[in-house]
Structure 1
Amino acid sequence: MVTTGTVAVAQKVQFTEYDLANGLHVILHQDKSAPVVAVSVMYHVGSKNEDTARTGFAHFFEHLLFEGTDNIKRGEFDKIISSNGGQANANTTQDRTFYHELFPSNQLELGLWLESERMLHPVINEEGVRTQNEVVKEEKRQRLDNQPYGKFADEIFQRLFAAHPYRWQPIGSMAHLDAATLAEFKAFFKKFYAPNNAVLSIAGDIDIEKTKALVKTYFEEIPKGPEVIQPNITEQPLAHEIVDTVYDSNIQIPAVFAAYRIPGMKSRDSKVLEMMSAVLSGGSSSRLYKKMVDNKKNALQVSAFNYGLEDYGAYITLALPNNNASLDTLLADIDAEVVALQTNLISEADYQKIQNQFENGYVDANSKMLGVAENLANGYTFHNKNTNQINQELDEIRSITREEIREAAKKYLVKNQRVVLYYLPAK
């Protein structure tokens, strides 16, 4: 990274990529600036790959695959990592599950062994399922059930999507997990957690040729799984504006949300809408913040953001009232700024400001090895196997015009094509 004035300038991310015979896609990035290495595996499976009567499986496996393997005793996975100076975690979205470790670079082989163990022969038994079922239930209580506004995404997506599996969230249904058999869990693993449905992405202080040899040693023997066909479900446009009310016992301050269905992350318009979000609510100098928080003081918080996913996305605006402002007033103020975007081009100064914001954000996201490993895997998984998307993203952002921002606002932020949710304290 180099710096020009106050703007960080991104440098090209070099990488090597290839496939093993079993279909595992491997991406290697060498960076000797620090003696660390990120080892990650991204499986192209998320909640959208689940059966409607067995939701929550992908997120459940995020936990279950830390239980142990034929060669790692139950409960030892995390201990092995921490005792060797490493850190590990995983996360699940609607579209993928991402496992990762960050190690001192002399523990690269250990990281590869752990991930190959997870893929080759995890232990999936009744004891592990019971244990992780309780863990998932507690996570749901903490992150959703007892969290203020914790269910807003769930409430929005179940109204925004009628046919697509995005209508449920990755946490899924606890009743579905309770009802599932061990055979169903094993079948889900066999179908989705195979090398041909995964990307192994390694970034850091590595020797490329030595790493290739280690990858071959630990992953070549893993058998190829069945071909995974991703869902291809088309949503019909909303027939009219959906207005609804949700009550939340965890809040004292109400909120209003407005959500629009938009194209998925592969679409250029998805990037255009990200830039639009920066204009509306990207910091204290953004339009909505200055208007509603600073000047009118009728909002404690206001935001607009692109919830981008593989097949579709949701463009969501929200506000929390200040000084007893009505939710309808807040919604009208947000809508007025949307109309302004639909009517007039943003200024050259605003355009340059958001360009700088995106460039700094890009550099920051790729300043750590784990970020590089994930972004390389994202490019291959979600952008038509274009791993180099990591180097093309900024050029795409720079090529987006002010006219495109105006046209995207006209095309997607349409009142009769949205969900409006009044989020109120439970009585």
Structure 2
Amino acid sequence: MINKIKLSACALLLGATGFAQEVEFTEYDLDNGLHVVLHQDKTAPVVTTSVMYHVGGKDQQNGKTGFAHFFEHLLFEGTENIPNGKWFEIVSSNGGSNNANTSNDRTYYYEIFPSNNLELGLWMESERMMHPIIKQKGVDTQNEVVKEERRLRVDNSPYGNLLQAVSSNLFVNHPYKDPNIGYMEDLDASTLEEFKQYFDKYYVPNNAVLVVAGDIDISKTKKMIEDYFGPIPKGEAVTRDFPKEDPITQQINATAYDANIQLPATVLGYRTPAFTQKDSYVLNMISNYLSDGNSSKLYKKLVDEQKQALAVQAFNLEQEDYGMYLVFAIPQGETTLETLNTEMEEEIAKIRTDLISEKNFQKLQNKAENNYVNSNSSVAGIANSLASSYLLYGNTDLINEEINIYRSITREDIKRVANEYLNPNQRVVLEYLPKAEEAKQ
């Protein structure tokens, strides 16, 4: 058992709008392998109970996609002791709120309650882990819910399939090539037994972290956690052996069509390192430099000054095995996609060739530190950071150390990373066109 309490300290964040107090926490393991992280904060009578499972869209069962996202919905259906459809009612009637979300790498469930309902939150999450009801009726119900979500957010949403169009070209072997929400035909073809097997494999205590943050008594909370989660059986160890991708050494040209758009878009996509690598943090800073705010390089050039783009955005999609770095633009007027690609590459090439100015670099440092403060400005935000730091990065204290990673980044790092990952021969160039254009091809 590890009992680690970070003593309080206060670090002045240069350029940030205040002070960020070091997050104190206690962490330990139950006998069944469930990792527990506790954070006491008595500034307000609220508490967040959360469980993050190390399962996401990349964890495919029998080659079928979308299971992790599907379970995000299914595990609100009910349990042996929570009637079907009553989960949200129980939470709201006790003054709380709750939600869940799934990425390619993890699934996160949480409740926010008045602190006198801590035990209720722990009981509900233990019920989700130990006693869910997985029956055909619930599977059929949630299958329709997921289909409607896909229609709303992907199939019928402007540019809704753009990310999938890029990832399917950036990845050939790794399951990141498939959408997190999955393909509907995969869910339709899946059996009840396959869903049960998926739950039994991934939704086990030794594949999860429980975080309780807020107005709590540490010793009493430990006792409740042992009572509710201790009896849950340990599962088999989850092993992963995803296929590796060969480096991209020649530009990949791709085209996709969308019936929901009238204006085309262009995307430059690059495969980048895992989010545990320092270079991923550097890429976040490059994104801010290129397109965060009206004074950023791409926005000022393409939207403000040259009036060539209606929108432009660079962002680093951080993931556990590989990242994706995307630069996206929608043309204005008669501007061609090729012109936008040339102009965007010109700005990226400047980063590869020259060191950015000290003034711009200091702005990036200030922004990174301000974002760090904001991400841990609430109990719910701290709970999420603690869970991610342990489960995905393997270091719970990253919540306190991450700012030092950004502080260690230099202008030379920015130039080096751009040269290593953001070259024309390493990218996918995607033309994302209105469906009407397909008939002309």
Q: Same fold (TM over 0.5)?
A: yes
**How many residue pairs were aligned?**
426
CA distance in 1 between partners of 2:14 and 2:263 (Å): 43
Match of 1:192 among 178, 198, 202: 202
- For 1:410, the equivalent position in structure 2 comes to 419
CA distance in 2 between partners of 1:240 and 1:347 (Å): 31
Match of 2:330 among 316, 320, 323: 320
Please give the TM-score of this superposition, normalised by the length of structure 1. Answer: 0.98
Match of 1:340 among 338, 350, 353: 350
Q: Deviations over 1:65-103 (max 9, x none)?
A: 000000111001111001101111111111000001111
Secondary structure of 1:265's partner?
A: coil
- For 1:164, the equivalent position in structure 2 comes to 174
Task: Tell me: CA distance 1:63–1:272, structure 2 relative to 1, closer, same or farther (3 Å).
Answer: same
User: Is 1:233–2:243 an aligned residue pair?
Assistant: yes
**Does the 8 Å CA contact 1:201/1:377 hold for their aligned counterparts?**
yes
Partner letter of residue 403 of structure 1? E
Residue 230 of structure 1: how far off its partner (Å): 2.6
User: Is 1:144–2:158 an aligned residue pair?
Assistant: no
CA distance in 2 between partners of 1:127 and 1:235 (Å): 39
Please give the TM-score of this superposition, normalised by the length of structure 2. Answer: 0.95
CA distance in 1 between partners of 2:288 and 2:62 (Å): 36
Residue 146 of structure 1: how far off its partner (Å): 0.7
Secondary structure of 2:58's partner?
A: helix
- For 1:422, the equivalent position in structure 2 comes to 431
CA distance in 2 between partners of 1:307 and 1:330 (Å): 21
User: Is 1:400–2:409 an aligned residue pair?
Assistant: yes
**Does the 8 Å CA contact 1:48/1:231 hold for their aligned counterparts?**
no
**Does the 8 Å CA contact 1:19/1:25 hold for their aligned counterparts?**
yes
User: Is 1:350–2:391 an aligned residue pair?
Assistant: no
Secondary structure of 1:112's partner?
A: helix
User: Is 1:14–2:24 an aligned residue pair?
Assistant: yes
- For 2:4, the equivalent position in structure 1 comes to none
CA distance in 1 between partners of 2:358 and 2:17 (Å): 17
CA distance in 1 between partners of 2:424 and 2:61 (Å): 32
Partner letter of residue 314 of structure 2? A
Residue 231 of structure 1: how far off its partner (Å): 3.2
- For 1:250, the equivalent position in structure 2 comes to 260
Secondary structure of 1:7's partner?
A: coil
- For 2:89, the equivalent position in structure 1 comes to 79
Secondary structure of 1:251's partner?
A: coil
Residue 7 of structure 1: how far off its partner (Å): 3.1
CA distance in 1 between partners of 2:76 and 2:123 (Å): 14
Q: Deviations over 1:325-358 (max 9, x none)?
A: 1111111111000000001101111111011111
Secondary structure of 1:390's partner?
A: helix
CA distance in 1 between partners of 2:102 and 2:364 (Å): 29
- For 1:66, the equivalent position in structure 2 comes to 76
Residue 247 of structure 1: how far off its partner (Å): 1.1
Task: Tell me: CA distance 1:4–1:245, structure 2 relative to 1, closer, same or farther (3 Å).
Answer: closer
CA distance in 2 between partners of 1:406 and 1:137 (Å): 44
Match of 2:136 among 126, 137, 140: 126
Q: Deviations over 1:83-129 (max 9, x none)?
A: 10111111111100000111111111000000000000100001100
- For 2:3, the equivalent position in structure 1 comes to none
Residue 244 of structure 1: how far off its partner (Å): 1.3
| Structure 1, unpaired ranges of 5+ | none
| Structure 2, unpaired ranges of 5+ | 1-9, 437-441
Secondary structure of 1:48's partner?
A: coil
